Amino acid sequence: MDQKIKLNKEKRQDMVRTIQTYFLKEREEELGDLAAGLLLDFIMDKLSFEFYNQGVYDSYKFINERTEDLLGIIKYE
């Protein structure tokens, strides 16, 4: 079940520009659209699952804590 992240054209362009800006500011390197796009592809293909998994874990933890809070509203006679 390999589902890749799909970005619309505008979002992808924004992310490529963000990578280019980062490299220019932090490393004083100019990256072209192709290089920045390839780096974005690498991050999405090889690293994004870690962010996804962390989001799932954080959501689970949040929901689990809130579900336990429900026991606090039990009413007794």
Segment 22-57, tens digit of pLDDT: 999 999 999 999 999 999 999 999 999 999 999 999
Asked if residue 1 has pLDDT above 70, the reply is no
C-alpha atoms less than 13 angstroms from C-alpha of 46 in its C-beta half-sphere: 6
| pLDDT-based confidence at residue 3 (cuts at 50, 70, 90) | low
**Sequence-ordered alpha helix ranges (H) in 1-77:** 9-27, 33-42, 48-70
75/24 Cα distance (integer angstroms): 60
